[in-house]
Amino acid sequence: MTPFLPHRAVRADAAILVAALAQFPVTEVRAQSADGASVYDRCVACHALARNRTGPRHCGLAGRRAGSVPGFPYSTAMRASGIIWDRRTLDTFLAAPTRFLPGTSMGYDGIKNPTERKALVDWLMSRPPCG
């Protein structure tokens, strides 16, 4: 059986691709489009829509003051932030939570891909109020 030997041009292209990938976050490789529910899968180790878990519940997030869900033990930073969650604040926070709000308990690097982040923000902002 003849071993597969890539054409020189193909190998060169592959080398360029590898070099290009090294310049960008992994998420840039995917997701020219995204749906918010799928992106939210990344949050479910700590969050749910209807109930507090390691993180606070997400129902009714639109227009809510940060750190205000009853019974949830927020960080001091979050309670004192004065943030009102809307598309702009949520987008900025989710891009780099610990940079936007030092001291937050959300030890997560962020959703770096703007398309994925917008999908997640749109999805979260359109969830119904808490039942």
Partner 1 sequence: MTIETVTHPATPETAASRRGFLSGLVRTVLSGTAVAILAGCETLASSGAANADTMADDARILNTALGAELEAIAAYQVGAESGLLSKGVLDVAVKFQGHHKEHADVLSKTVTKLGGVPVGPLASYDFPVDKLKSEADVLKFAAGLEKGAVSAYLGAVPLFGNRDLAKAAASILGDEAMHWAVLRGALGLDPVPGAFVS
Residues binding partner 1 (CB under 8 A): 26-27, 29-30, 37, 40-46, 48, 51-55, 75, 98, 103, 105-110
Tell me the closest approach of the beta carbon of residue 10 to partner 1, in angstroms: 19
Determine how many CB atoms are found less than 10 A away from the CB of residue 34.
21
Tell me the closest approach of the beta carbon of residue 38 to partner 1, in angstroms: 8
Q: What three-state secondary structure class fits 65?
A: strand
Separation of alpha carbons 85 and 61, rounded Å: 7
Between 13 and 109, name the residue whose CB sits nearer to partner 1. 109
Residues ≥6 apart with Cβ < 8 Å to 101: 77, 78, 81, 83, 93
Between 16 and 38, name the residue whose CB sits nearer to partner 1. 38
Query: For tokens 């129902």, what's the residue?
Result: 59
Between 3 and 73, name the residue whose CB sits nearer to partner 1. 73
Between 40 and 85, name the residue whose CB sits nearer to partner 1. 40
Tell me the closest approach of the beta carbon of residue 45 to partner 1, in angstroms: 3
Tell me the closest approach of the beta carbon of residue 8 to partner 1, in angstroms: 25
Which residue stretches of the chain are H helix? 8-22, 36-40, 76-79, 87-95, 97-100, 114-125
